[in-house]
Amino acid sequence: MLVLDRACHFSADQLLATLRQSGQRVSRATIYNTLSLFSRRGLIREVAVDPERLMYDSTTAPHHHFYNAETGELTDIDPADLRLSRLPPLPRATEAESVEVIIRIRPRKGG
Ligand SMILES: [Zn+2]
């Protein structure tokens, strides 16, 4: 399987481009429907990096990300490398299901 044979992050458009480059005829709607199904089944995870950009992650275990808004690249952060010392009080009658941190990065000015 093209998508799941290694840990990776990708957008629907990147997947579409990869499939078309390899000669497959596939519609954008098929890509979106399939990714949505995979995500509901827990085979991949959606990572909403910003309101206009949904990325998909083949690693489904909880982890954090660096997101480079300039290049669009998403990079994993090992959960052991990020420690949260305090969470805010949760709303009544709720429990924390997961905490996912996205650290937005950009190239440093002046190199
Ligand atoms: Zn990831």
Comparing CA positions, the residue from 60, 92, 65, 59 lying closest to residue 81 is 65
Task: State the pLDDT confidence band at 1, using cuts at 50, 70 and 90.
Answer: very low
CA of 64 to the centre of ligand 1 (A): 7
pLDDT score, position 2: 54
Residue 43 has pLDDT above 50, yes or no: yes
| Span 20-35, pLDDT tens digits | 999 999 999 999 999 9
Q: Give the pair of three-digit tokens for residue 2.
A: 């093209």
Task: State the pLDDT confidence band at 111, using cuts at 50, 70 and 90.
Answer: low
Domain ranges of the chain: 9-105
Q: For residue 104, give the amino acid letter.
A: R
CA of 4 to the centre of ligand 1 (A): 13
Q: 57 in helix, strand or coil?
A: strand
CA of 108 to the centre of ligand 1 (A): 23
CA of 69 to the centre of ligand 1 (A): 15
CA of 76 to the centre of ligand 1 (A): 5
CA of 66 to the centre of ligand 1 (A): 9
- Return d(Cα 59, Cα 33) in angstroms, integer: 19
Tell me how far apart the terminal alpha carbons of the chain are, to the nearest angstrom.
39
Dihedral of the CA atoms 111, 101, 69, 24 (nearest 10)?
130
The fold of 9-105 is Arc Repressor Mutant, subunit A (1.10.10)
| Span 53-90, pLDDT tens digits | 899 999 998 899 999 989 888 999 988 899 888 889 99
HSE-up of 86 (CA within 13 Å, CB side)? 2
- pTM of the predicted model, to two decimals? 0.79
With tokens 């098929």, the residue in question is 30
pLDDT score, position 4: 57
